[in-house]
Structure 1
Amino acid sequence: MADAALRLKNLLEQLLGDPLPVRVRAWDGSQAGPPGAPVLVVRNRRAVRRLLFRPGELGLARAWVAGDLDIDGDLYSALGLIAGLLWERDGDTRSRTEALRDPDVRAAVRGLVKLARLPLPPAPPPEEIRGRRGHRHTRRTDKRAVSHHYDVGNDFYEIVLGPSMVYSCAYWAAPDSTLELAQRDKLELVCRKLALTPGQRLLDVGCGWGSMAIHAAREHGVHVVGVTLSQEQAAYARKRVAEEGLTDRVEIRVQDYRDVADGPYDAISSIGMAEHVGAERYLDYARDLYALLAPGGRLLNHQIARRPQGDESAYSLDEFMDAYVFPDGELAPLGTTVTQLERAGFEVRDVESIREHYALTLRRWVGSLEADWPRAQRIAGPGRARVWLLYMAACALAFERNRIGVNQVLAVRTPESGASGMPLRARTWT
């Protein structure tokens, strides 16, 4: 069969009802599609089987992670074109059952079955989280989810994140600034918003590899407790704290934020952690942090947000992210987050959207991963490395296209007197 690419292209266009915007290269060496476009490399028939047994995003993701699919050309361009078929497709709101009533769709599926020589469905790649049962966001399930994402290996994260080891949106003075400087500026921005002064107590929820805790203690003289559920993160952070000579001011714990009981704290930072909390638990999360703050204490909540939709019930991440990247992760609209913080008793004093900053950050992380690709694959394994490449590149596009955003929300446990301690002029902070 020397025309597999043309047959595959025609069948996919019949199925989608739109021209395929990428070129296809099939397992037999044939090619079809628009000249000069990014090339979707279909390495074997198993890729087609994955799409048939799980149409849409998850089937594509499984084929990508397993190495059955690849991209020849600019990854961002290819993902941008494919996004028009998956995430940004307008008009077609039919269910899968309704679509299969269409004679053209049924004919296309039959053609793909014949092309794939269909046996049993391929097993998902081993990197996929499967078999989750029972309640989400218990202490046990949260620890498992965090371990899946963060215990990939500190050496791998060093490749992606660079020397700062900060795994959240940087704050860019200019697009051509360095990642290291942009991450330092983000940490300093958080410290200024919290108005940290020497001798205060700071709780860093989801402390990661200790960057925020170290910066706050070293630059602002505060005493910091950092909590994480990742054993690997905690070991790495403690080593960094010791090397900085800050063991008298920084304590790193493997501890669930729900189990912190040694308040009050003067300030709390939660940077890129609240996405793991879940809609059902979010009000409890806000109340727990409120209870840990002294009157007048500030919370800086740095969190990714989705755009509002018709159904504002609990919202998981998309299929690929939930199965491979952030198990049980949930995103909420900004307004929902602000409302929950206020319901917990906080006075929300400032909201800053830094969406474009995350797109810049992700593109730098992708560049770092690609620059050291062979070593990244040796450390994390080829499948896991491919998960991260796809996840970060797709997220960069999602931030650039305003499909998701990221916000810093500054809230205060305002005392009964009403004296919030905030400056009269906004964003002078201290």
Structure 2
Amino acid sequence: MADAAVRLTTLAEELLGAPLPVRIRAWDGSESGPPNAPVLIIRNRRALRRLLWKPGELGLARAWVAGEIDVDGDLYALLERLAGLIWERDTDVKDAVHPVLDPRMRAAARGLVAIAGPWPAPAPPPEEIRRRHGGLHTKRRDKEAISHHYDVGNDFYSLVLGPSMVYSCAYWDAGPGTGGAPDAGSGLEDAQRDKLDLVCRKLALKKGERLLDVGCGWGSMALHAAREYGVRVTGITLSREQAAYARERVAEEGLTDLVDIRVQDYRDVKDGPYDAISSIGMAEHVGSVQYREYADDLYALLKPGGRLLNHQIARRPEKNEDEYRMDDFIDAYVFPDGELAPLGRTVATLEEAGFEARDVESIREHYALTLRRWVANLEKHWDRAVRATSPGRARVWRLYMAASALSFETNRIGVNQILAVRPAEKGASGMPLRARDWR
């Protein structure tokens, strides 16, 4: 067929009941759609079969990871145009592709089936997590989920994250008159160093104290705290690749007497008390069924008067507050079994465990800026990144980071630093009367 794009545009608009917001370029070279809109390239009819079998986000994601669809131009602009179809109207799309009553929609669906070609549905790309062992958030299953995400390869992550090897929201300095945008002279490394130092100052770290860094990643927080504040740090991760990399960094900096990196579940740490605990970008993996245990365990590991800095992504409150699972694409390809809770639920659970919440800082816009820098790094080093992992895995990271940046920018999700204290005798917090002395 020489007019696949025209036919696809017509059928899609019949199913959606609205104009298609992007331009389509089909496998036969034909194009259709708004002339100045972002171009969605459909390289193969298998992409249509994926959408028919898994309408909405997961079908599109599988086609993207497999390289069957692509974008010509700005990925962010394409995702902004498709957001209403992928996220906000996901249920409508599913209903449209499986119509029951409307004859017009049934005819459009039959037309899409005719173009899609022979069944059955293509197998999911190999980058998709397949089997999950045991109950949700058991130690074994959590370790498998962490390995799926973090054991992608340290070389790959170094290309994306840069020399800081910090895989969480940076803390940007806004220049005068920039309207909140980062100073043109500030870079990702500076912003990540500033974030690590902000955490240390909120925790009021002092030389000789003990810090537990839960979910220590590649060791950046542990190294900064030991080097700049002279504290003794225990860093724990479930990723063997992260731990090996972090230990090499510790040895290179001559800090083995201050930093101990372990492959260990937070539920197995028994060598408290600690003066302070940092948990940066780790609690998203804990899950709602385990979150109270997580809070209880960290509370028990702190000495009276000890501080916890919990840095965590939050989802906006929903009608069903028990459903905090990640989107289908992220659950299948990025953070298996990850869950996002509203900020209020997280604060309440920490206080139920005995903590006193002393400060909450939203840094949502900072994460959008960070993610855009990571995407730029990945695109700049694309060929090397593909060699370091796989074409599909690199496409996963490009899509998820770009989509996440837009989610932070549009306030679909947020990220917050919660400073909490385990009260000492008679409720003493040890906090200054005037708040935020770390400024």
- Corresponding residue of 1:78: 78
CA distance in 2, matches of 1:354, 1:274: 16
- Corresponding residue of 1:233: 242
> In 1, are the aligned partners of 2:359 and 2:418 still within 8 Å (CA)?
yes
- Corresponding residue of 2:179: none
Could you tell me which of 203, 208, 212 is aligned with 2:212? 203
CA distance in 2, matches of 1:179, 1:406: 18
Note the aligned Cα RMSD (angstroms): 1.5
- Deviation of 1:91 after TM superposition, in Å, equals 10
- Deviation of 1:119 after TM superposition, in Å, equals 1.6
Deviations 1:370-407 (A, max 9, x none): 00001101111000000000000000000000000000
* Partner SS for 1:327: coil
Deviations 1:203-256 (A, max 9, x none): 000000000000000000100000000000000000000111100000000000
Pair 1:152–1:92, CA change in 2 (3 A): closer
Bigger mean CA deviation after superposition, 8-17 or 127-136:
127-136
2:267 corresponds to 1:255: no
Q: In the TM superposition, what are the counterparts of 1:29-428 in structure 2 within 5 Å?
A: 29-89=29-89, 92=92, 95=95, 99-132=99-132, 134-174=134-174, 175=182, 176=184, 177-428=186-437
Pair 1:206–1:354, CA change in 2 (3 A): same
- Deviation of 1:131 after TM superposition, in Å, equals 2.9
> In 1, are the aligned partners of 2:56 and 2:94 still within 8 Å (CA)?
no
* Partner SS for 2:70: strand
CA distance in 2, matches of 1:197, 1:91: 52
- Corresponding residue of 2:8: 8
* Partner SS for 2:427: coil
> Which residue type is aligned with residue 219 of structure 1?
E
> Which residue type is aligned with residue 145 of structure 1?
A
* Partner SS for 1:279: coil
* Partner SS for 1:348: strand
> In 2, are the aligned partners of 1:306 and 1:334 still within 8 Å (CA)?
yes
Bigger mean CA deviation after superposition, 112-121 or 329-338:
112-121
- After TM superposition, the score normalised by the length of structure 2 is 0.96
> In 1, are the aligned partners of 2:274 and 2:306 still within 8 Å (CA)?
yes
Q: Provide the aligned length of Structure 1 versus Structure 2.
A: 430
> In 2, are the aligned partners of 1:280 and 1:314 still within 8 Å (CA)?
no
> In 1, are the aligned partners of 2:24 and 2:42 still within 8 Å (CA)?
yes
- Deviation of 1:92 after TM superposition, in Å, equals 4.9
> In 1, are the aligned partners of 2:362 and 2:414 still within 8 Å (CA)?
yes
CA distance in 2, matches of 1:98, 1:159: 42
- After TM superposition, the score normalised by the length of structure 1 is 0.98
> In 2, are the aligned partners of 1:423 and 1:429 still within 8 Å (CA)?
no
- Deviation of 1:90 after TM superposition, in Å, equals 9.7
> In 1, are the aligned partners of 2:15 and 2:97 still within 8 Å (CA)?
no
List alignment gaps of at least 5 residues for structure 1: none
> In 2, are the aligned partners of 1:422 and 1:429 still within 8 Å (CA)?
no
Pair 1:159–1:24, CA change in 2 (3 A): same
- Deviation of 1:118 after TM superposition, in Å, equals 2.9
> In 1, are the aligned partners of 2:315 and 2:324 still within 8 Å (CA)?
no
2:35 corresponds to 1:26: no
CA distance in 2, matches of 1:281, 1:298: 21
Deviations 1:245-292 (A, max 9, x none): 100000000000100000000000000000000000000000000000
Pair 1:373–1:98, CA change in 2 (3 A): closer
Pair 1:199–1:280, CA change in 2 (3 A): same
CA distance in 2, matches of 1:272, 1:85: 29
CA distance in 1, matches of 2:240, 2:133: 24
* Partner SS for 1:280: coil
> Which residue type is aligned with residue 50 of structure 1?
R
- Deviation of 1:18 after TM superposition, in Å, equals 1.0
* Partner SS for 1:366: helix
CA distance in 2, matches of 1:380, 1:367: 18
CA distance in 2, matches of 1:101, 1:47: 26
Runs of 4+ in 1 over 6 A off after TM superposition: none
Deviations 1:133-153 (A, max 9, x none): 541111100000000000000
CA distance in 2, matches of 1:228, 1:91: 37
CA distance in 2, matches of 1:91, 1:69: 22
* Partner SS for 2:425: coil
